[in-house]
Amino acid sequence: MTTARKISYCQAINEAISQEMERDPCVFIYGIGVPDHKRIFGSTAGLVEKFGLQRCFDTPLSEDAMTGFGLGAAINGLRPIHVHARVDFLMLCMNQLANMISSCRYSSGGKLSVPIVIRAIIGRGWGQTFQHSKTVHSVFAHIPGLKVVMPTTPADAKGLLISAIRDNDPVVFIEHRWLYYAVEEVDEQPYDVPLGKARVLRKGDDVTVVGVSWMNVEALRAADILQSRHNISVEVIDPRTISPLDGEMITKSVEKTGHCIVADNDWLHCGFSAELSATISESCFGKLKSPVKRIGFAFAPCPSARHLEDGFYPNAADIIRAVEAKLGLEPADLTDEDFYSYERKFKGPF
Amino acid sequence: MNTAELKKKANWLRRQILQIVVRSKRGHIGGAFSCTEILVALYYGGILRFDSDNPNWSDRDRFILSKGHSCVALFPILADLGFFPSSVLDSYSQNGCILGGHPDRNVPGIEADTGSLGHGLGIAAGLALAAKIDGRKYMTVALLGDGECYEGSVWESAMFAAHHRLNNLVAVIDRNRQCVTDFTEDCNRLEPLADKWSAFGWEPRTVDGHSFDEMIDAFHGFRSRVSAGPLVIIANTIKGKGVSFMERSIKWHHGVPQGDQLEEANRQLQCD
C-alpha cells in the first residue's frame, strides 16, 4: 500500500537518498557541505545522523580528485552520490567526468560500469553572478556515456533520483534551487520513474511548449494566461531527462499542434534548445506550421544586479509573447498578471 | 607604523569590516577577520610598495588576494590609503558600486579578479615570472586561504614557481584551520603543511598571523633573498578573530550579526 502526503521537492530528494541508503549499503553520499549545518539547502538533512560519517561525509575543495575518488569507488561496487552546491563547481571535475567516467564502460570493453550520481544545484536570483549561476546541462548531455536528468516536480525528483541511484551508469542530476519550495503529493514508499521518458505536464492542442526544469513552471503559468486571455490551449512537455531524450513523445505532440517552443533554462547557442529544435525539424518537417522558437538566457554572463538579472532570465511573459507571435494574436495586456520573481517565490502545487 | 599603531589599525579595520557587512547584509566575515593583521602588515607595515595616486605604477609590488572572499577586509585599506574615496565603501555590494563581494580589476589597487579558489597563485607566479623576464624589481605577494590549498591548481603553481626559481614571489597562507564548512584537519589533513611546501621547493616560514612583529620579521629581507626558491609564509590565525563568538566557529564563515550579537561584536571591537 502506498501513502502519499504533501512534501517539498527538497524533502523528496532527501527521502529518495535516505530510502536508497537504507535499501542498499553500497550507496553513500559525499561532497563539500554535505554533512554541515546547512546540509545542501536541507537536501541532506538527517543523513549523517542516520548513516554515520562513513556514508555521509564532507570533502576538501579538490573537485576533480573527489570525482576520481567516486570513479574508483563505483568501479569497485559502491554507489556514490557526489554533491555540488552549485553546478559551476562541477566544471572543475570535467577531466574525470568527460575523459574518464563517461567512457569507462566503453574503454573497459564493458567490463566496468560506473554507477555514480552527481547532484548539481542550479538556481537564480542569488545575486551571485557569473560564477554561481550557470546551468550548462547541454555540456554534460553532449558527452556520450553521461545521463542528464533535470526533474521539475517533487514526485519526479524522488522517482528519478531513485532510478539514477539504481542505474549502472553515471548520471548528472540537476536540481533547480527555486523548485526546492515546490510542494505536491509524493508517495512515501520508494518508487522509480524511468530515465529517458518525458512527461506531459499539461495537455493542449494549439502549441507545444517543451520546458526544462524551472522553465516548466513558467510554461504552466503562461499556459494558464493564454487559456484565459486567448482561449489557446498549450501542451507543456517536460523531457525530465535531457540525455537520453524522449524524442518520441515530443514529436507526437508537435505533430499534433504544429507549433513548438523550446523554453530552456540555459543559453541558447549550441545548447539543448538547439539540439531539440534540430530534432523536431528533422522529425516533424512538413507538419510544422511555424519554425521552432527557442527561449533561453541572454547570451552573456549572468549579471549580479537584480534588474539586469531579471532581464537575463526569460519568464512566462516571454513564452506568452512567443505564442502570440506564432499564432498572429494581438499581445494581451499583462499588467495585472503576477509573475514569479525572487521576491514572489513559487510554492506549488503543480 | 610601529606595532602599537598597527594594532590600532587592525582594530579599526575589524570595525570597518563589521560595519560594511552589517550595512550590506553580506560578507565573509570570518575569513576577513582571520587575515586582518596580515593585510595591515602588508599595507601599513612597510612591506608592499605602492602608489595610490598611480595605482598602475609599473614598479609597484603586485598583491593578489587569492582568497578573494575576504575582499571586505581589503577594500577599507585601499580606501584609507587613497586608492578610491572612502565614501565608495558606503555603497559596497549595491548596484552601480565598483565594490562587490569579490575583488575585480575595476577597483583601483586590485590586480586580479579572484574568489574562484586555487587561481591566485598561478596568476602571481605569472606576474613574478614576467618580472624576471622584464628585469623588473617588483615583488609579487599572494594571500591564500588554507582551505584553498586543497585545490590541485595551487600545487601545480607551486611546482611551476619553484622550477622557475621565482624568488621574487611570496605566498602567504592564512592558516585559520577552517574551510567553508569544516575544520581542515577533520575534513582533509593539511599538516605537515610547511613540509609540503618545502618539498615543493619553497622556503617556508611559520608565524603567528596575528603578531605584527612576527609577520614583519618573516618578510625581513624578502627583496634580496639569496635562496633561489619562492617564499611561503604560513600565518597561523583564528577564523573570526576579534569577536569571541565568531572565533573558530564554522557558521561565521559567512554571516551577518544582528541584535545582541551585533551589540556584543561592537563592544568587543571598541577598545584600541
The CATH number of the domain holding residue A65 is 3.40.50.970
Are A180 and A262 members of one domain? Answer: no
* Residue B174: predicted pLDDT: 98
The three-state secondary structure class of A287 is coil
pLDDT of the residue at A1: 59
| Contacts with B121 from chain A: Cβ below 8 Å | none
Could A61 and B100 be called an inter-chain contact, meaning their C-beta atoms sit closer than 8 Å? no
Cross-chain residue pair A60–B187, CB shorter than 8 Å: yes
From the list B105, B113, B109, B106, the residue with the least C-alpha distance to B74 is B109
pLDDT in tens, B41-62: 999 999 999 999 999 999 999 9
pLDDT at A53: 95
Q: Are residues A215 and A88 in the same domain?
A: no
A38 and A158 co-located in one domain: yes
Is residue B205 over pLDDT 80?
yes
Same domain, A96 and A208: no
Average pLDDT over every residue of A55-79:
95
Residues A26 and A131 in one domain: yes
A288 plus A170 within the same structural domain: no
| More confident call, B181 vs A220 | A220
Choose the catalytic residue: A84, A132, A230, A259: A132
Query: Across residues B226-242, what is the average pLDDT?
Result: 95
Which residue range(s) make up the domain with A8? 4-187
Together in a domain, A217 and A168: no
Q: With pLDDT > 70 as the criterion, what percentage of chain B qualifies?
A: 99
User: Which residues of B fall below an 8 Å CB-CB distance to A?
Assistant: 95-96, 100, 115-118, 147-148, 150-152, 179-182, 186-188, 250-251
Give me the number of domains chain B comprises: 1
Q: Tell me how far apart the alpha carbons of residues B105 and B109 are, in angstroms, rounded to a whole number.
A: 8
- Could you tell me where the DSSP H helices lie in chain A? 9-23, 47-51, 63-75, 94, 104-107, 137-141, 154-166, 215-230, 247-257, 272-284, 306-312, 316-327
Set of chain B residues whose Cβ sits within 8 Å of the Cβ of A32: 180-181
> Is the model's pLDDT at B9 over the cut of 60?
yes
Residue A334 maps to a domain: no
pLDDT by residue (tens digit) across A84-132? 999 999 999 999 999 999 999 999 999 999 999 999 999 888 777 888 8
Q: Quote helix, strand, coil % in chain B, to nearest 5.
A: 45, 10, 45
Residues A289, A323 contacting (CB under 8 angstroms)? no
Helical (H) or strand (E) element with B174? strand B169-175
Per-residue pLDDT at B271: 63
Q: Considering the domain boundaries, does residue A192 fall inside one?
A: no
Do B251 and A307 lie within an 8 Å CB cutoff?
no
Are A148 and A37 within one domain?
Answer: yes
pLDDT digits (tens, 9 = 90+) for B64-74: 999 999 999 99
- In this structure, the answer to whether residues A304 and A203 fall within a common structural domain is yes
Counting residues of chain A whose pLDDT is more than 90, the rounded percentage is 89
Mean pLDDT of the B263-267 span: 94
Interface size A-B, in CB pairs within 8 Å, comes to 44
- pLDDT at residue B272 above 60? no
A22 and A170 fall within a common domain: yes
- Most A-contacting residue of B93, B104, B153, B181 (CB-CB within 10 A), to test interface: B181
Co-location of A14 and A84 in the same domain: yes
Residue B181 has pLDDT above 90, yes or no: no
Catalytic residue check, A132: yes
Band (A81; pLDDT cuts 50, 70, 90): very high
Could B187 and A36 be called an inter-chain contact, meaning their C-beta atoms sit closer than 8 Å?
Answer: no
Whole-number Cα distances in Å, B52 to B64, B78, B108:
16, 8, 8
Domain that holds residue B97: 3-270
The domain that holds B248 is classified in CATH as: 3.40.50.970
Nearest residue of B to residue A304 by CA position?
B95
CB neighbour list of residue B65: distance below 8 Å, 6 or more residues apart: B71, B74, B103, B110, B114, B120, B143
Predicted pLDDT at B94: 85
Domain harbouring A287, CATH code: 3.40.50.920
User: What's the pTM?
Assistant: 0.88
What is the average pLDDT score of chain A?
95
**Residue B193, min C-alpha distance to chain A (Å):** 15
Q: Would you state the pLDDT for residue A306?
A: 84
Residue A196 has pLDDT above 60, yes or no: yes
Q: How far is CA B119 from CA A2, A112, B41, B115, in A?
A: 51, 35, 23, 8
CA distance to partner chain B, nearest, from residue A214 (Å) = 26
Residue of chain B with shortest Cα separation from A63: B151
pLDDT tens figures, B84-120: 999 999 999 888 899 988 999 999 999 999 988 999 9
* Angstrom distance (rounded) from CA A89 to CA A91: 5
Quote the number of domains for chain A.
2
Examine the domain organization and report whether A247 and A168 are in the same domain. Answer: no
Query: What whole-number distance in Å separates Cα of residue A316 and Cα of residue A263?
Result: 10
